[in-house]
């Protein structure tokens, strides 16, 4: 009986938490995302340095300090939109990329009426070189959503330093909870 008032008080206090400030950005015909206010698009040269890959992301936005990124990528795919099959596949792919992965969310979720594979996690990348001077592990908070549209795979990825997770997690959840893909 004592837990009911405590639960009610907690719910009341958290319901008044400030909502993240987002603005809608149209990235392509039929694709718009909610972007944290203050984030700015990275120029191509900065994208090439920060995201070295054969295929440049569709867009990368970063906060003023450059420590937090929201990237949107499009890749060809032969997979259909069977998200219950894709979820374990993408989870395994994420696990192969890092030394350690602690999943916070791993689900198929609906965003604006469309299914997405959602993976939210804290990743650790340790220095695996065999030298006398090992670098400190890099820990990141990451929230990634995947969606299949026709023959294209859309990847929405929000990344922040793990020590800033408490600050950026509500922002990532709000931003990736407001994607319009038609």
- pLDDT tens profile 83-101: 999 999 999 999 999 999 9
> How far apart (Å, rounded) are the C-alpha atoms in residues 125 and 98?
5
Domain 20-126+136-181, CATH class in plain words: alpha beta
Kindly state the average pLDDT of the residues 8-17: 50
Kindly state the average pLDDT of the residues 106-130: 91
* pLDDT at position 140 over 90: yes
* pLDDT at position 14 over 50: no
Contacts 24+ apart (CB under 8 A), 164-172: 164/67, 164/68, 165/122, 165/141, 168/68, 168/141, 169/120, 169/141, 169/143, 170/17, 170/20, 171/20, 171/22, 171/36, 172/120, 172/141, 172/143
Domain regions of the chain by residue span: 20-126+136-181
pTM: 0.87
Percent of the chain at pLDDT exceeding 70: 86
């Amino acid at each position: 009986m004592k837990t009911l008032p405590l639960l009610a008080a907690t719910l009341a206090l958290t319901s008044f938490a400030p909502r993240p400030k987002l603005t809608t950005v149209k990235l392509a015909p039929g694709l718009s995302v909610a972007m944290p206010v203050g984030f700015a698009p990275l120029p191509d040269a900065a994208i090439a340095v920060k995201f070295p890959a054969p295929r440049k992301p569709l867009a990368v936005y970063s906060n003023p300090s450059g420590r937090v990124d929201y990237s949107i990528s499009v890749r060809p795919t032969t997979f259909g939109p069977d998200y219950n099959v894709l979820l374990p596949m993408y989870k395994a792919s994420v696990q192969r990329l890092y030394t350690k992965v602690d999943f916070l969310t791993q689900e198929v979720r609906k965003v604006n009426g469309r299914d997405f594979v959602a993976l939210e996690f804290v990743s650790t990348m340790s220095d695996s070189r065999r030298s006398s001077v090992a670098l400190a592990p890099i820990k990141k908070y990451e929230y990634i959503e995947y969606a299949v549209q026709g023959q294209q795979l859309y990847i929405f990825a929000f990344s922040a330093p793990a020590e800033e997770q408490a600050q950026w997690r509500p922002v990532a959840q709000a931003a990736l909870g407001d994607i319009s893909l038609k």
